[in-house]
Amino acid sequence: MSTRSDSSPGRGRTQRRGTSYTAPVTRYDAVLLLIPVIFLLAVGAVAVFGVPVPTAMAAGSALSVVAVTDALFLNPPTGRGPTN
């Protein structure tokens, strides 16, 4: 028995009951995860080391800009999707 794993029309993959499909984490997923992690580290620096909040947020912003610049301009998406 098959069930649809994707509710989008035309994009549905079928799978057997009891199995699951997990898409691989792409570089761009990692960048989206990295941005809040950077800011959590900045908040941690404020709490643990007493770094001034504006300094920590400026450093977090600069690192986030580097990550986004890398993802959008240095290694842009190609539209081909993940390769396996």
pTM score of the predicted model: 0.67
In a domain, 14, yes or no: no
Please tell me the least confidently modeled range out of 8-12, 51-55, 70-74: 8-12
In a domain, 57, yes or no: yes
Q: Around 5, how many Cα atoms within 13 Å sit in the side-chain half-sphere?
A: 13
Q: What is the pLDDT of residue 77?
A: 87
In a domain, 60, yes or no: yes
DSSP letter assigned to residue 9: T
In a domain, 49, yes or no: yes
For residue 20, is pLDDT > 90? no
Domain count across the chain: 1
Tell me the C-alpha distance between 80 and 76, whole Å.
Answer: 11
In a domain, 2, yes or no: no
In a domain, 34, yes or no: yes
Range of the domain at 48: 25-77
In a domain, 5, yes or no: no
> Tokens 């649809």 sit at which residue?
4
In a domain, 61, yes or no: yes
